Structure 1
Amino acid sequence: MKAMIFAAGLGTRLRPLTDTIPKALVPICGKPLLSHVLEKLVSSGYNEIVVNVNHFAGQIKDYLSSHDFGVKISISDETSLLLETGGAIAHARPLLESGDQEPFLVHNVDIISDLDLEWFRSEWRPDALATLLVSERQTKRYFLFDEENRLVGWANLETGEVRTPYQGLDAKKCRRLAFAGIHNISPEIFSLFEPYGLGGRFPIVDFYLRACREHPIYGVVPGQLKMIDVGKLDSLHEAEALCSTLLATL
Protein backbone atom coordinates (compact mmCIF):
# COMPACT_ATOMS: atom_id res chain seq x y z
CA MET A 1 0.00 0.00 0.00
CA LYS A 2 1.20 3.49 -0.83
CA ALA A 3 1.19 6.65 1.25
CA MET A 4 2.62 10.16 1.11
CA ILE A 5 3.78 12.31 4.00
CA PHE A 6 3.71 16.07 3.57
CA ALA A 7 7.05 17.06 5.10
CA ALA A 8 8.11 20.02 2.93
CA GLY A 9 6.50 22.85 4.90
CA LEU A 10 8.51 25.81 6.18
CA GLY A 11 7.13 25.47 9.71
CA THR A 12 7.07 29.24 10.21
CA ARG A 13 4.73 29.00 13.20
CA LEU A 14 7.26 26.78 14.97
CA ARG A 15 10.07 29.30 14.87
CA PRO A 16 12.66 29.57 16.32
CA LEU A 17 12.84 25.74 16.29
CA THR A 18 12.51 25.66 12.51
CA ASP A 19 15.23 28.24 11.99
CA THR A 20 17.73 25.38 12.21
CA ILE A 21 15.74 22.17 11.53
CA PRO A 22 12.76 21.26 9.33
CA LYS A 23 9.36 20.87 10.98
CA ALA A 24 9.46 17.16 10.14
CA LEU A 25 12.41 16.71 12.51
CA VAL A 26 10.97 18.63 15.46
CA PRO A 27 11.18 16.15 18.36
CA ILE A 28 8.15 14.93 20.27
CA CYS A 29 8.72 12.38 23.04
CA GLY A 30 12.32 12.02 21.92
CA LYS A 31 11.60 11.27 18.25
CA PRO A 32 11.04 13.49 15.21
CA LEU A 33 7.49 14.06 14.01
CA LEU A 34 8.45 12.29 10.79
CA SER A 35 9.42 9.17 12.71
CA HIS A 36 6.09 9.07 14.55
CA VAL A 37 4.12 9.26 11.30
CA LEU A 38 6.33 6.74 9.50
CA GLU A 39 6.02 4.22 12.32
CA LYS A 40 2.24 4.66 12.32
CA LEU A 41 2.05 4.07 8.57
CA VAL A 42 4.33 1.05 8.67
CA SER A 43 2.39 -0.56 11.53
CA SER A 44 -0.80 -0.07 9.50
CA GLY A 45 0.54 -1.97 6.49
CA TYR A 46 1.88 0.80 4.26
CA ASN A 47 5.06 -0.43 2.55
CA GLU A 48 5.75 2.24 -0.08
CA ILE A 49 5.96 5.73 1.36
CA VAL A 50 6.73 9.03 -0.36
CA VAL A 51 8.12 11.96 1.63
CA ASN A 52 8.21 15.40 0.01
CA VAL A 53 10.98 17.80 1.02
CA ASN A 54 11.90 21.47 0.63
CA HIS A 55 12.89 23.30 3.85
CA PHE A 56 16.19 21.85 5.11
CA ALA A 57 15.67 18.98 2.65
CA GLY A 58 19.17 17.64 3.22
CA GLN A 59 18.49 17.06 6.90
CA ILE A 60 15.41 14.99 6.12
CA LYS A 61 17.24 12.98 3.47
CA ASP A 62 20.11 12.32 5.89
CA TYR A 63 17.69 11.25 8.61
CA LEU A 64 15.90 8.80 6.33
CA SER A 65 19.13 7.37 4.94
CA SER A 66 20.42 6.70 8.45
CA HIS A 67 17.24 5.08 9.82
CA ASP A 68 15.71 1.83 8.58
CA PHE A 69 11.92 1.70 8.79
CA GLY A 70 11.71 -1.60 6.93
CA VAL A 71 9.77 -0.26 3.95
CA LYS A 72 10.50 1.51 0.66
CA ILE A 73 10.76 5.28 1.23
CA SER A 74 11.06 7.62 -1.75
CA ILE A 75 11.83 11.33 -1.78
CA SER A 76 9.73 13.77 -3.81
CA ASP A 77 12.12 16.69 -4.08
CA GLU A 78 10.65 20.21 -4.08
CA THR A 79 13.82 22.09 -3.21
CA SER A 80 13.54 24.27 -6.32
CA LEU A 81 9.95 25.29 -5.56
CA LEU A 82 7.59 24.52 -2.68
CA LEU A 83 4.53 23.21 -4.51
CA GLU A 84 1.89 23.36 -1.74
CA THR A 85 -0.31 20.36 -1.07
CA GLY A 86 -1.99 19.91 -4.45
CA GLY A 87 1.13 20.55 -6.47
CA ALA A 88 3.03 18.16 -4.18
CA ILE A 89 0.62 15.31 -4.97
CA ALA A 90 0.80 16.04 -8.71
CA HIS A 91 4.61 16.18 -8.59
CA ALA A 92 4.76 12.81 -6.80
CA ARG A 93 2.61 11.09 -9.44
CA PRO A 94 5.42 8.81 -10.72
CA LEU A 95 5.98 7.58 -7.17
CA LEU A 96 2.32 7.15 -6.21
CA GLU A 97 0.80 5.57 -9.31
CA SER A 98 0.94 1.81 -9.47
CA GLY A 99 -1.29 0.86 -12.40
CA ASP A 100 -4.33 -0.01 -10.29
CA GLN A 101 -7.10 2.04 -8.71
CA GLU A 102 -6.18 1.41 -5.09
CA PRO A 103 -6.34 4.66 -3.10
CA PHE A 104 -3.20 6.07 -1.54
CA LEU A 105 -3.02 7.79 1.84
CA VAL A 106 -1.80 11.35 2.39
CA HIS A 107 -0.80 12.33 5.94
CA ASN A 108 0.50 15.67 7.24
CA VAL A 109 3.78 15.26 9.11
CA ASP A 110 2.60 17.47 11.97
CA ILE A 111 -0.45 15.40 12.92
CA ILE A 112 -0.24 13.12 15.95
CA SER A 113 -3.39 11.10 16.58
CA ASP A 114 -4.86 7.84 17.79
CA LEU A 115 -6.58 7.29 14.44
CA ASP A 116 -6.83 3.66 13.34
CA LEU A 117 -5.56 3.97 9.77
CA GLU A 118 -6.84 0.51 8.86
CA TRP A 119 -10.34 1.58 9.94
CA PHE A 120 -10.00 4.80 7.96
CA ARG A 121 -9.04 2.84 4.85
CA SER A 122 -12.05 0.54 5.35
CA GLU A 123 -14.31 3.60 5.13
CA TRP A 124 -13.35 4.09 1.48
CA ARG A 125 -16.31 4.30 -0.92
CA PRO A 126 -16.07 2.79 -4.42
CA ASP A 127 -17.35 5.96 -6.09
CA ALA A 128 -15.07 8.31 -4.13
CA LEU A 129 -12.37 10.49 -5.59
CA ALA A 130 -11.17 11.11 -2.03
CA THR A 131 -12.19 10.59 1.57
CA LEU A 132 -11.19 13.21 4.12
CA LEU A 133 -10.72 12.64 7.82
CA VAL A 134 -12.82 15.31 9.52
CA SER A 135 -14.08 16.03 13.02
CA GLU A 136 -16.32 18.38 14.95
CA ARG A 137 -13.42 20.21 16.63
CA GLN A 138 -13.72 23.98 16.91
CA THR A 139 -11.91 26.03 14.29
CA LYS A 140 -12.43 29.08 12.07
CA ARG A 141 -12.41 27.23 8.75
CA TYR A 142 -14.62 24.27 7.92
CA PHE A 143 -15.45 21.97 5.06
CA LEU A 144 -19.18 21.88 4.31
CA PHE A 145 -20.96 18.56 3.78
CA ASP A 146 -24.45 17.45 2.79
CA GLU A 147 -26.56 14.83 4.59
CA GLU A 148 -24.55 12.02 2.97
CA ASN A 149 -21.26 13.54 4.17
CA ARG A 150 -20.39 14.52 0.62
CA LEU A 151 -18.26 17.64 0.28
CA VAL A 152 -20.15 20.65 -1.07
CA GLY A 153 -18.05 23.63 0.00
CA TRP A 154 -15.86 25.45 2.48
CA ALA A 155 -16.50 28.29 4.91
CA ASN A 156 -14.45 30.74 6.95
CA LEU A 157 -16.54 31.69 9.96
CA GLU A 158 -14.28 34.62 10.84
CA THR A 159 -14.57 36.38 7.48
CA GLY A 160 -17.89 34.94 6.30
CA GLU A 161 -16.32 33.68 3.06
CA VAL A 162 -17.99 30.64 1.48
CA ARG A 163 -16.52 28.71 -1.45
CA THR A 164 -18.66 26.19 -3.34
CA PRO A 165 -19.34 24.98 -6.89
CA TYR A 166 -23.06 24.82 -6.04
CA GLN A 167 -24.96 27.96 -6.93
CA GLY A 168 -27.26 29.11 -4.15
CA LEU A 169 -25.82 26.78 -1.52
CA ASP A 170 -27.05 27.69 1.97
CA ALA A 171 -23.97 27.13 4.12
CA LYS A 172 -26.06 27.33 7.29
CA LYS A 173 -27.87 24.13 6.32
CA CYS A 174 -24.65 22.19 5.73
CA ARG A 175 -22.76 20.08 8.20
CA ARG A 176 -19.56 21.90 9.22
CA LEU A 177 -16.56 19.66 9.88
CA ALA A 178 -12.87 20.44 10.39
CA PHE A 179 -10.26 18.75 8.22
CA ALA A 180 -7.67 16.71 10.10
CA GLY A 181 -4.91 16.61 7.48
CA ILE A 182 -5.32 12.92 6.57
CA HIS A 183 -6.99 11.74 3.38
CA ASN A 184 -7.30 8.73 1.09
CA ILE A 185 -7.17 9.60 -2.60
CA SER A 186 -7.96 7.69 -5.79
CA PRO A 187 -5.21 7.65 -8.44
CA GLU A 188 -7.90 9.00 -10.79
CA ILE A 189 -7.03 12.40 -9.34
CA PHE A 190 -3.86 12.65 -11.44
CA SER A 191 -5.84 12.88 -14.67
CA LEU A 192 -8.12 15.59 -13.29
CA PHE A 193 -5.79 18.37 -12.16
CA GLU A 194 -5.28 19.82 -15.65
CA PRO A 195 -8.96 19.70 -16.73
CA TYR A 196 -9.79 21.74 -13.63
CA GLY A 197 -7.18 24.31 -14.58
CA LEU A 198 -4.67 23.40 -11.91
CA GLY A 199 -0.97 22.75 -12.28
CA GLY A 200 2.37 23.70 -10.78
CA ARG A 201 1.88 25.17 -7.33
CA PHE A 202 -1.61 24.92 -5.76
CA PRO A 203 -3.38 23.77 -2.56
CA ILE A 204 -5.29 20.48 -2.74
CA VAL A 205 -8.28 22.22 -1.13
CA ASP A 206 -8.62 24.38 -4.26
CA PHE A 207 -8.92 21.24 -6.35
CA TYR A 208 -11.38 19.56 -3.99
CA LEU A 209 -13.66 22.58 -4.09
CA ARG A 210 -13.63 22.71 -7.88
CA ALA A 211 -14.08 18.98 -8.40
CA CYS A 212 -16.53 17.98 -5.65
CA ARG A 213 -19.66 18.61 -7.70
CA GLU A 214 -18.73 16.14 -10.46
CA HIS A 215 -16.56 13.78 -8.40
CA PRO A 216 -17.71 12.53 -4.96
CA ILE A 217 -15.44 13.54 -2.09
CA TYR A 218 -16.61 12.33 1.30
CA GLY A 219 -15.92 13.21 4.89
CA VAL A 220 -15.19 10.41 7.34
CA VAL A 221 -15.92 11.14 11.00
CA PRO A 222 -14.39 8.80 13.59
CA GLY A 223 -16.41 8.00 16.69
CA GLN A 224 -13.69 9.49 18.87
CA LEU A 225 -10.45 11.08 17.80
CA LYS A 226 -7.56 12.29 19.90
CA MET A 227 -5.47 14.51 17.66
CA ILE A 228 -2.94 17.33 17.88
CA ASP A 229 -1.86 19.52 14.99
CA VAL A 230 1.74 20.33 15.95
CA GLY A 231 1.72 23.55 13.97
CA LYS A 232 2.50 26.11 16.66
CA LEU A 233 4.86 26.37 19.61
CA ASP A 234 2.01 26.33 22.12
CA SER A 235 0.88 22.94 20.77
CA LEU A 236 4.15 21.20 21.65
CA HIS A 237 3.19 20.54 25.29
CA GLU A 238 -0.16 19.01 24.25
CA ALA A 239 1.60 16.93 21.62
CA GLU A 240 4.04 15.57 24.20
CA ALA A 241 1.15 14.65 26.50
CA LEU A 242 -0.84 12.90 23.76
CA CYS A 243 2.24 11.11 22.45
CA SER A 244 3.07 9.85 25.94
CA THR A 245 -0.48 8.55 26.31
CA LEU A 246 -0.36 6.77 22.96
CA LEU A 247 3.04 5.22 23.67
CA ALA A 248 1.76 3.93 27.00
CA THR A 249 -0.96 1.94 25.21
CA LEU A 250 1.46 0.13 22.89
Structure 2
Amino acid sequence: MMQAMIFAAGLGTRLKPLTDRIPKALVSVGGEPLLKRVIFQLKDAGFTRIVVNVHHFSQQIIDYLRVHDNFGMDIRISDESEKLLETGGGIRKAWPLFNQSEPILIHNVDILSNVDLKKFYQMESRDMIAARLMVSERKTKRYLLFDDSMRLVGWTNIETGEVKSPYPDLNPKDYKMYAFSGIHMVAPSLFPLMEEEPDKFPIMDFYLKHCDKVRIEGYVKNDLKLMDVGKQETLKEAEAFLKSLVSSL
Protein backbone atom coordinates (compact mmCIF):
# COMPACT_ATOMS: atom_id res chain seq x y z
CA MET A 1 0.00 0.00 0.00
CA MET A 2 1.29 3.45 -0.95
CA GLN A 3 0.11 6.37 1.13
CA ALA A 4 0.68 10.11 1.15
CA MET A 5 -0.17 13.32 2.96
CA ILE A 6 -0.89 16.61 1.24
CA PHE A 7 -0.17 19.74 3.26
CA ALA A 8 -3.19 21.94 2.52
CA ALA A 9 -3.74 23.69 5.86
CA GLY A 10 -1.61 26.79 5.29
CA LEU A 11 -3.01 30.31 5.34
CA GLY A 12 -1.67 31.08 1.86
CA THR A 13 -0.61 34.59 2.87
CA ARG A 14 1.75 34.88 -0.12
CA LEU A 15 -1.23 34.42 -2.44
CA LYS A 16 -3.42 37.20 -1.03
CA PRO A 17 -5.92 38.55 -2.08
CA LEU A 18 -6.88 35.21 -3.71
CA THR A 19 -6.69 33.43 -0.36
CA ASP A 20 -8.95 35.98 1.34
CA ARG A 21 -11.87 33.96 -0.07
CA ILE A 22 -10.55 30.47 -0.89
CA PRO A 23 -7.88 28.15 0.54
CA LYS A 24 -4.56 27.93 -1.27
CA ALA A 25 -5.34 24.30 -2.15
CA LEU A 26 -8.25 25.43 -4.35
CA VAL A 27 -6.35 28.14 -6.22
CA SER A 28 -6.53 27.24 -9.90
CA VAL A 29 -3.47 26.69 -12.11
CA GLY A 30 -4.01 25.82 -15.77
CA GLY A 31 -7.73 25.41 -15.14
CA GLU A 32 -7.42 22.94 -12.24
CA PRO A 33 -7.11 23.50 -8.46
CA LEU A 34 -3.66 22.82 -7.01
CA LEU A 35 -5.14 20.13 -4.76
CA LYS A 36 -6.57 18.20 -7.72
CA ARG A 37 -3.24 18.35 -9.55
CA VAL A 38 -1.35 16.85 -6.59
CA ILE A 39 -4.04 14.22 -5.97
CA PHE A 40 -3.86 13.04 -9.59
CA GLN A 41 -0.06 13.00 -9.60
CA LEU A 42 -0.24 10.71 -6.56
CA LYS A 43 -3.08 8.62 -8.03
CA ASP A 44 -1.22 8.15 -11.32
CA ALA A 45 1.86 7.04 -9.36
CA GLY A 46 -0.12 4.28 -7.62
CA PHE A 47 -0.91 5.84 -4.25
CA THR A 48 -4.22 4.62 -2.84
CA ARG A 49 -4.60 6.47 0.47
CA ILE A 50 -4.17 10.22 0.91
CA VAL A 51 -4.60 12.33 4.03
CA VAL A 52 -5.23 16.04 3.47
CA ASN A 53 -4.78 18.39 6.42
CA VAL A 54 -7.06 21.43 6.53
CA HIS A 55 -7.34 24.69 8.48
CA HIS A 56 -7.87 27.85 6.38
CA PHE A 57 -11.35 27.68 4.76
CA SER A 58 -11.30 24.00 5.72
CA GLN A 59 -14.96 23.36 4.84
CA GLN A 60 -14.35 24.44 1.23
CA ILE A 61 -11.74 21.70 0.85
CA ILE A 62 -13.93 19.10 2.58
CA ASP A 63 -16.88 20.02 0.32
CA TYR A 64 -14.71 20.00 -2.81
CA LEU A 65 -13.51 16.46 -2.11
CA ARG A 66 -17.03 15.27 -1.25
CA VAL A 67 -18.52 16.69 -4.46
CA HIS A 68 -15.86 14.82 -6.46
CA ASP A 69 -16.28 11.56 -4.49
CA ASN A 70 -12.64 11.81 -3.39
CA PHE A 71 -11.69 11.19 -7.04
CA GLY A 72 -12.26 7.48 -6.44
CA MET A 73 -9.55 7.27 -3.79
CA ASP A 74 -9.34 6.67 -0.04
CA ILE A 75 -8.93 10.32 0.99
CA ARG A 76 -9.12 11.25 4.66
CA ILE A 77 -9.21 14.65 6.34
CA SER A 78 -6.94 15.64 9.22
CA ASP A 79 -8.82 18.60 10.66
CA GLU A 80 -6.71 21.41 12.11
CA SER A 81 -9.54 23.96 12.00
CA GLU A 82 -9.17 24.86 15.67
CA LYS A 83 -5.39 25.16 15.70
CA LEU A 84 -2.81 25.20 12.92
CA LEU A 85 -0.15 22.69 13.98
CA GLU A 86 2.68 23.55 11.55
CA THR A 87 4.24 20.82 9.45
CA GLY A 88 5.55 18.53 12.19
CA GLY A 89 2.47 18.75 14.37
CA GLY A 90 0.33 18.21 11.28
CA ILE A 91 2.12 14.99 10.37
CA ARG A 92 1.86 13.65 13.91
CA LYS A 93 -1.86 14.47 14.19
CA ALA A 94 -2.51 12.68 10.89
CA TRP A 95 -0.54 9.55 11.88
CA PRO A 96 -3.58 7.55 13.20
CA LEU A 97 -5.24 7.94 9.77
CA PHE A 98 -2.46 5.98 8.05
CA ASN A 99 -1.38 2.36 7.83
CA GLN A 100 1.25 2.60 10.56
CA SER A 101 3.50 -0.08 9.10
CA GLU A 102 4.16 1.82 5.84
CA PRO A 103 6.06 5.04 5.06
CA ILE A 104 4.22 8.25 4.22
CA LEU A 105 5.07 10.52 1.32
CA ILE A 106 4.56 14.18 2.23
CA HIS A 107 3.76 16.68 -0.54
CA ASN A 108 3.09 20.42 -0.27
CA VAL A 109 -0.08 21.37 -2.14
CA ASP A 110 1.65 24.27 -3.91
CA ILE A 111 4.45 22.24 -5.52
CA LEU A 112 4.35 21.29 -9.20
CA SER A 113 7.09 18.94 -10.41
CA ASN A 114 8.21 16.13 -12.70
CA VAL A 115 9.17 13.91 -9.75
CA ASP A 116 8.49 10.18 -10.17
CA LEU A 117 6.69 9.87 -6.84
CA LYS A 118 6.47 6.07 -7.00
CA LYS A 119 10.23 5.74 -7.48
CA PHE A 120 10.94 8.25 -4.71
CA TYR A 121 8.62 6.36 -2.35
CA GLN A 122 9.87 2.86 -3.18
CA MET A 123 13.64 3.40 -3.34
CA GLU A 124 15.54 0.37 -2.08
CA SER A 125 17.15 1.99 0.95
CA ARG A 126 13.87 3.06 2.52
CA ASP A 127 13.97 0.37 5.24
CA MET A 128 17.20 1.82 6.62
CA ILE A 129 16.15 5.45 6.82
CA ALA A 130 13.86 7.53 9.01
CA ALA A 131 13.16 10.15 6.33
CA ARG A 132 14.13 11.06 2.77
CA LEU A 133 14.05 14.64 1.48
CA MET A 134 13.86 15.62 -2.17
CA VAL A 135 16.48 18.36 -2.62
CA SER A 136 17.96 20.35 -5.49
CA GLU A 137 20.73 22.76 -6.38
CA ARG A 138 18.46 25.77 -6.88
CA LYS A 139 19.69 29.11 -5.56
CA THR A 140 18.29 30.23 -2.23
CA LYS A 141 19.45 31.78 1.05
CA ARG A 142 18.70 28.68 3.11
CA TYR A 143 20.34 25.33 2.49
CA LEU A 144 20.27 21.89 4.05
CA LEU A 145 23.72 20.41 4.67
CA PHE A 146 24.62 16.82 3.82
CA ASP A 147 27.73 14.68 4.21
CA ASP A 148 29.23 12.64 1.36
CA SER A 149 26.70 9.83 1.92
CA MET A 150 23.85 12.39 1.63
CA ARG A 151 22.99 12.11 5.31
CA LEU A 152 21.47 15.30 6.72
CA VAL A 153 23.81 17.03 9.18
CA GLY A 154 22.50 20.59 9.41
CA TRP A 155 21.07 23.76 7.89
CA THR A 156 22.47 27.19 7.12
CA ASN A 157 21.35 30.63 6.04
CA ILE A 158 24.18 31.83 3.81
CA GLU A 159 23.06 35.45 4.10
CA THR A 160 23.10 35.66 7.90
CA GLY A 161 25.61 32.87 8.62
CA GLU A 162 23.16 31.14 10.96
CA VAL A 163 23.70 27.38 11.37
CA LYS A 164 21.40 24.75 12.90
CA SER A 165 22.88 21.33 13.64
CA PRO A 166 23.11 18.77 16.44
CA TYR A 167 26.83 18.59 15.65
CA PRO A 168 28.76 21.33 17.49
CA ASP A 169 31.19 23.49 15.51
CA LEU A 170 29.88 22.23 12.16
CA ASN A 171 31.33 24.26 9.28
CA PRO A 172 28.85 24.50 6.36
CA LYS A 173 31.72 24.83 3.88
CA ASP A 174 32.71 21.22 4.59
CA TYR A 175 29.35 19.85 3.42
CA LYS A 176 27.11 19.60 0.37
CA MET A 177 24.45 22.31 0.20
CA TYR A 178 21.02 21.62 -1.28
CA ALA A 179 17.63 23.34 -1.18
CA PHE A 180 14.55 21.50 0.10
CA SER A 181 11.79 20.92 -2.44
CA GLY A 182 8.64 20.42 -0.34
CA ILE A 183 8.50 16.67 -1.08
CA HIS A 184 9.69 14.14 1.51
CA MET A 185 9.01 10.70 2.93
CA VAL A 186 8.83 9.66 6.58
CA ALA A 187 9.16 6.12 7.91
CA PRO A 188 7.11 4.71 10.81
CA SER A 189 10.30 4.56 12.92
CA LEU A 190 10.33 8.37 13.13
CA PHE A 191 7.02 8.76 14.96
CA PRO A 192 8.11 7.66 18.46
CA LEU A 193 10.60 10.55 18.44
CA MET A 194 7.72 12.98 17.85
CA GLU A 195 6.05 12.09 21.15
CA GLU A 196 8.27 14.48 23.10
CA GLU A 197 7.44 17.44 20.84
CA PRO A 198 4.76 20.09 21.60
CA ASP A 199 1.44 20.08 19.70
CA LYS A 200 2.79 22.55 17.16
CA PHE A 201 6.26 22.19 15.65
CA PRO A 202 7.97 22.52 12.24
CA ILE A 203 9.12 19.25 10.68
CA MET A 204 12.41 20.69 9.44
CA ASP A 205 13.48 21.73 12.94
CA PHE A 206 12.55 18.21 14.07
CA TYR A 207 14.69 16.65 11.32
CA LEU A 208 17.63 18.86 12.29
CA LYS A 209 17.22 18.00 15.97
CA HIS A 210 17.35 14.25 15.34
CA CYS A 211 19.59 13.83 12.29
CA ASP A 212 22.46 12.67 14.52
CA LYS A 213 20.31 9.83 15.95
CA VAL A 214 18.56 8.46 12.85
CA ARG A 215 19.39 8.50 9.16
CA ILE A 216 17.65 11.33 7.35
CA GLU A 217 18.90 11.47 3.78
CA GLY A 218 18.69 13.77 0.81
CA TYR A 219 17.83 12.67 -2.70
CA VAL A 220 18.87 14.71 -5.74
CA LYS A 221 16.94 14.30 -9.00
CA ASN A 222 19.31 15.56 -11.69
CA ASP A 223 16.62 16.48 -14.21
CA LEU A 224 14.29 17.95 -11.59
CA LYS A 225 11.71 20.46 -12.78
CA LEU A 226 9.92 21.97 -9.80
CA MET A 227 7.97 25.12 -9.07
CA ASP A 228 6.62 26.48 -5.80
CA VAL A 229 3.41 28.21 -6.87
CA GLY A 230 2.58 29.43 -3.39
CA LYS A 231 3.33 33.06 -4.26
CA GLN A 232 1.85 35.53 -6.74
CA GLU A 233 4.92 35.89 -8.97
CA THR A 234 5.27 32.14 -9.63
CA LEU A 235 1.52 31.63 -9.97
CA LYS A 236 1.69 33.76 -13.12
CA GLU A 237 4.45 31.56 -14.54
CA ALA A 238 2.80 28.27 -13.59
CA GLU A 239 0.86 27.65 -16.80
CA ALA A 240 4.00 27.83 -18.94
CA PHE A 241 5.72 25.58 -16.39
CA LEU A 242 2.94 22.98 -16.67
CA LYS A 243 3.34 22.96 -20.46
CA SER A 244 7.08 22.38 -20.03
CA LEU A 245 6.34 19.38 -17.77
CA VAL A 246 4.03 17.86 -20.39
CA SER A 247 6.55 18.41 -23.20
CA SER A 248 9.32 16.74 -21.19
CA LEU A 249 7.35 13.53 -20.59
**Structure 1 equivalent of residue 82 of structure 2:** 80
Q: Does 2:235 match 1:236?
A: yes
Alpha-carbon distance between aligned partners in 1 of 2:197 and 2:145, rounded to the nearest angstrom: 22
Amino acid of the structure 1 residue aligned with 2:4:
A
> Contact 1:123–1:220 at 8 Å: present in 2 too?
no
**Structure 2 equivalent of residue 94 of structure 1:** 96
**Structure 2 equivalent of residue 112 of structure 1:** 112
**Structure 1 equivalent of residue 73 of structure 2:** 71
| SS across alignment from 2:65 | helix
Give 1:188 shift.
1.6
Deviation string 1:205-227 (CA, Å, 9 cap, x unpaired) is 11101110010000000021111
Give 1:104 shift.
1.1
> Contact 1:151–1:219 at 8 Å: present in 2 too?
yes
| SS across alignment from 1:59 | helix
> Contact 2:134–2:184 at 8 Å: present in 1 too?
yes
Where does 1:33-48 land on structure 2 (aligned, <5 Å)? 33-48=34-49
Alpha-carbon distance between aligned partners in 1 of 2:138 and 2:106, rounded to the nearest angstrom: 20
**Structure 2 equivalent of residue 145 of structure 1:** 146
**Larger helix fraction of residues:** 2
Deviation string 1:172-225 (CA, Å, 9 cap, x unpaired) is 11100000000111012221112xx41200000111011100100000000211
> Contact 1:2–1:104 at 8 Å: present in 2 too?
yes
| SS across alignment from 2:224 | coil
Q: Does 2:27 match 1:26?
A: yes
Give 1:146 shift.
0.3
Alpha-carbon distance between aligned partners in 2 of 1:124 and 1:62, rounded to the nearest angstrom: 38
Alpha-carbon distance between aligned partners in 2 of 1:121 and 1:93, rounded to the nearest angstrom: 17
Alpha-carbon distance between aligned partners in 2 of 1:199 and 1:103, rounded to the nearest angstrom: 22
Give 1:64 shift.
0.5
Where does 1:222-233 land on structure 2 (aligned, <5 Å)? 222-233=221-232
Where does 1:180-199 land on structure 2 (aligned, <5 Å)? 180-194=181-195, 197-199=196-198
Number of paired residues? 246
> Contact 2:86–2:200 at 8 Å: present in 1 too?
yes
| SS across alignment from 1:37 | helix
> Contact 2:225–2:245 at 8 Å: present in 1 too?
no
Alpha-carbon distance between aligned partners in 2 of 1:246 and 1:160, rounded to the nearest angstrom: 35
Where does 1:6-25 land on structure 2 (aligned, <5 Å)? 6-25=7-26
Give 1:168 shift.
1.8
| SS across alignment from 1:183 | strand
| SS across alignment from 1:192 | helix
Amino acid of the structure 2 residue aligned with 1:115:
V
> Contact 1:135–1:221 at 8 Å: present in 2 too?
yes
Alpha-carbon distance between aligned partners in 1 of 2:238 and 2:245, rounded to the nearest angstrom: 10
Alpha-carbon distance between aligned partners in 2 of 1:249 and 1:38, rounded to the nearest angstrom: 20
**Structure 1 equivalent of residue 5 of structure 2:** 4
Give 1:44 shift.
0.4
Amino acid of the structure 2 residue aligned with 1:117:
L
**Structure 2 equivalent of residue 123 of structure 1:** 123
Give 1:45 shift.
0.6
Alpha-carbon distance between aligned partners in 2 of 1:92 and 1:130, rounded to the nearest angstrom: 17
Identity within the alignment, %: 54
Alpha-carbon distance between aligned partners in 2 of 1:62 and 1:48, rounded to the nearest angstrom: 18
Alpha-carbon distance between aligned partners in 2 of 1:122 and 1:6, rounded to the nearest angstrom: 21
| SS across alignment from 1:120 | helix
| SS across alignment from 2:62 | helix
Task: Please provide the CA RMSD for this pair.
Answer: 1.3
Give 1:245 shift.
2.9
